[in-house]
Amino acid sequence: MPAPDDHQPAVLVLADGKVFRGLGFGATGTTLGEAVFTTAMTGYQETLTDPSYHRQIVVSTAPQIGNTGWNDEDSESHTGKIWVSGYVIRDLSRSVSNWRATRSLEDEMKDQGIIGIRGVDTRTLVRHLRNFGSIKAGIFSGKDAHAPIDDLRAKVNGQPDMAGADLSAEVSTDQPYILEPEGDQKFTVVAYDMGIKSSTPRYLVERGIRTVVVPANTPLSDIKQYQPDGVFVSNGPGDPATADTMVEVVREVLRSQIPFFGICFGNQILGRALGLDTYKLKFGHRGINVPVIDHTTKKIYITAQNHGFALAGTGGEEFDTEFGPAVITHTCLNDDVVEGVALKNGRAFSVQYHPESSAGPHDANPLFDQFVELMSTAQPESQEAKN
C-alpha cells in the first residue's frame, strides 16, 4: 500500500483565529463545517458515515486512525456515504491490518471527496474545543493552504451557524423503502429517517418487525397506509428547534395512541412534542463511553452518543402534557444533561443515546425489546387507532 503524501500542506483554521498546521490526506481542497471532537477509540468508519455528523469537521482523540482500513459492511449510512465535512487526526496508519478491509481509509476519503488533515496536535485542539466550545472551522489543503490566514478565517466565519440549521431533509431518504423481517412477522414499524443509521433498522428486522423507512416530515396520514403497530424516529443532524413539522407529526402519533420510540434527534423531538425546550450544548457528547443513569431503575449504562443539542430539564422531573403525565427518565452522569423522556403510561419513550451501538457498548440494546413489548401490550388499542 502506498505511503501517504508527506509533502501536501494543510491547515485547520478556527473561527476564533486559532490555527493548526499539518499535512493533508484524503481529497485535496477546502471544506467548511463545525469543529467537534469524538472520544471514541474505535469505530471511525461508523463515525464518518453517521449522517448526524453532516456539516461537521470531526476531530478524533484516538492518536492513530486508519489501522483497520475500510470495509463494505460497517458503514452507518444507507448508501455508504461519508457524511462528515472533514476529518482531523494525529497519526494516519501507513498500513491496514484487518481481515475484512478492502481498501484504506485514505482511499475511501479520496473516492468520496472528503478532505482531512493529519499531524495535528489533537490533544491541544480538543482541549481548546472543550474549553471554548464547538466552533466554525475549515480545512484547507494543497494550494488552498497557502492563502493568507485572514482570508481563510473570513471563509470560515462566512459559513452558516449550526444553531438554527434545519438539516434532516438533507440526509433523509427521498423515497420510502421497506426492510422485511427475519422469521415470522410480529409487527410493522414506520421509522422516520432523520439521518438514520443503517444498523438501527437491522435490530428491528431481527426482532420480526417489518420496517418501513420514510422521509423526514412525512405526514401521519401518509404512513397509515402501512398500518403501523409503532412509530420510530431516528437520530439526525441539525437544531431540533427547527423541527416544527416533525414535532407536530409526533404529537399526532401520540394523539392516535400509536406506540412511539425515539433515539437522539428523536428524543429531542419527543421532548418538544411534550412541551420541553431544547438548547445547544457547549461541545456536545460524542463518544462510546458516556455514563447514563436511568432514574426509574437507578441502573447505569455506558452508552454511545453523538449530539450537540439537548432537552432542558432535571432527572426524575415529572410534568403534565396534553397526552398525560411525563417524566425525564435518564440523565448523563458527567454533566446532568437530559438523556431520556417518556410518558408515564409507557406508550412513548425515547433516549438521547444510541442503543444500536455502532460503534459502542451494547448496554442499551434491550431498548429495542422494550419497544417490542410496548407494541405487544398496546396492540388492541393501537389497532383501533390505525383504522
As annotated, the active-site residues are 264, 354, 356
66 is in an annotated binding site: no
The torsion of the CA quartet 53, 244, 228, 353, rounded to 10 degrees, works out to: 40
User: In angstroms, rounded to a whole number, what is the distance separating the alpha carbons of residues 308 and 318?
Assistant: 24
268 is in an annotated binding site: yes
236 is in an annotated binding site: yes
Phi, psi torsion values for 102, nearest 5 degrees: -115, -10
158 is in an annotated binding site: no
User: In angstroms, rounded to a whole number, what is the distance separating the alpha carbons of residues 120 and 152?
Assistant: 18
Give the helix/strand (H/E) hosting 347.
none
Give the helix/strand (H/E) hosting 163.
none
CB 314 within 8 A of CB 320: no
| Strands 30-38, 56-60: pairing kind | parallel
The two counts, helices (H) then strands (E), for the chain are 10, 20
313 is in an annotated binding site: no
309 is in an annotated binding site: yes
306 is in an annotated binding site: yes
CB 355 within 8 A of CB 370: no
CB 284 within 8 A of CB 307: yes
Contacts of 313 (CB under 8 A, 6+ apart): 271, 276, 328, 338, 341
Query: Could you tell me the CA-to-CA distances from 134 to 35, 44, 59, 163 in Å, in that order?
Result: 6, 20, 11, 11
Instruction: Give Cα 200 to chain centroid, integer Å.
Output: 12
Contacts of 109 (CB under 8 A, 6+ apart): 25, 26, 27, 82, 87, 115, 116
Query: Would you list which residues are annotated within the binding site for L-glutamine?
Result: 52, 236, 238, 265, 268, 306, 308-309
